Homo-oligomer: A and B are copies of this chain.
Amino acid sequence: MSTDQTLSEEDLRQALELLFFAYRDFTGEADTLLEDFGFGRAHHRVIYFVNRNPSISVNGLLRILKITKQSLSRVLGQLVREGFIDQKTDSHDRRRRTLTLTDKGIELESRLTKCQGVRMQQAFAASGENAVQGFKKVLSEMINAEDRKRYTGGAPHTD
């Protein structure tokens, strides 16, 4: 599982740059689509994680996104007002508001994810199954331990 091999500084710098350019190009396409709706990347993240965690609470979303509630409120408020997200009082704890995508929200989420999915699928197809495993492995090792549980498992974060 672990090797003692150390990469040269040049190899390391190449990897740093790869990550920078790849991330920029990767997000670029979805950004263009979002502009058509007057939204930005922050809206994208909210839509994505609400779809991924239906009925999530506001606090739950904050814990995933790691931004302040004031920041979230700006974009979330827009999404609710414009009918992309449905917000209702949780019957078990009436202090909470559960967040769920509307049909309109689901459609936008689908378009956005398809947009990024296509590029990633193409990169995966061109790289091979083995490379994909390595890609995922390295990324998961780069994530903070506390968050590693958050990305996967599909276990909804409704709290």
Residues of chain A at the chain B interface (Cβ within 8 Å): 1-7, 9-10, 12-26, 45, 48, 52, 66, 113, 116-117, 119-144, 147, 150-152, 154
Taking A5-B129, A128-B1, A147-B25 as contacts, is the C-beta distance between A140 and B18 under 8 angstroms?
Answer: yes
Number of copies: 2
Residues in B neighbouring A117, C-beta threshold 8 A:
9, 12, 16
Taking A121-B6, A125-B4 as contacts, is the C-beta distance between A137 and B131 under 8 angstroms?
Answer: yes
Q: Which residue of B lies closest to A26 (CB)?
A: B142
The contact of A143 among B22, B116, B124, B151, by CB within 8 Å, is B22
Nearest chain B CB to A110 CB, angstrom units: 10
Nearest chain B CB to A140 CB, angstrom units: 6
A-B contact pairs, 5 of them (CB 8 A): A2-B127, A13-B52, A18-B152, A126-B141, A135-B137
Closest 9 CB pairs of A and B: A134-B134, A131-B134, A123-B141, A135-B138, A18-B139, A17-B151, A22-B139, A22-B142, A131-B137
Contact A127 B141 (CB under 8 A): yes
Nearest chain B CB to A19 CB, angstrom units: 6
Contact A138 B123 (CB under 8 A): yes
Taking A22-B139, A22-B140, A134-B135 as contacts, is the C-beta distance between A12 and B120 under 8 angstroms?
Answer: yes
